[in-house]
Amino acid sequence: MLLTGIVGWLASFQLTVDDWHLLKDPSYRPPCNISPVVSCGSVMSSPQGSLFGFPNMLLGLGAFAAVAALGVAVLCGARLHRRLWLALNAGALVAVVFVHWLIWQSLYELNKLCPYCAVVWVVTIALFWYLMVHCVERGIVRVPRGALAVVRDTHWMLLGAWYGVIAMLVLTRFWTYWSSLL
């Protein structure tokens, strides 16, 4: 929780700083605008970048700070109540669904790949996955014993496969661009 909270917060913070620069100066070119495909300026200024009427990265600033703070508390020995674990898990589920919608929007509607957004995707998926693994192992979320054994024994492979599917989507979506670089 601490690691995903810190990394997610830093990526959200960088996106926020770049967004402020863009608001002050529309000709500002964020450092993440690397190519016609790898670019975050156009993603931030799109309607998808402010889905709820304010920049999405502000959600990340608040949520990742809370996750990091809870991670510190757990590392210091705090025992979180079952309801808090369930709330964290539910929040991470909502976040991972939102992130997958943003992945779809980025790849198939905006036709851009935002590097800082991709960092947020990675840490949000890891946060959700490992919160779920924790909750399943501790009996906070109940699953059949067979499923528990599979999760316990293969949690890292399942997460790797999840990332692999997203990487394949990115590779195939922009294959023409990637192959032109060779």
Residue 38 backbone dihedrals phi, psi, to 5 degrees: -90, 100
Residue with tokens 């979506």: 173
CATH number of the domain within which 80 lies: 1.20.1440
Between the alpha carbon of residue 163 and those of residues 13, 39, 81, 152, 179, the distances in Å are 23, 21, 31, 18, 21
- Total of domains in the chain: 1
- Domain containing 67 equals 2-180
Taking a C-beta distance cutoff of 8 angstroms, is the pair 1, 67 a contact? Answer: yes
Written as tens digits, the pLDDT of the chain (182 aa) is 999 999 999 999 999 999 999 999 989 999 999 999 999 988 998 999 999 999 999 999 999 999 999 999 999 999 999 999 999 999 999 999 999 999 999 999 999 999 999 999 999 999 999 999 999 999 999 988 888 888 888 999 999 999 999 999 999 999 999 999 88
- pLDDT tens, residue by residue, 55-108: 999 999 999 999 999 999 999 999 999 999 999 999 999 999 999 999 999 999
pLDDT at position 176: 93
Of 161, 127, 153, 175, whose CA–CA distance to 1 is shortest?
Answer: 127
pTM: 0.94
| Residue 4 buriedness (CB in 10 A; 0-12 / 13-18 / 19+) | buried
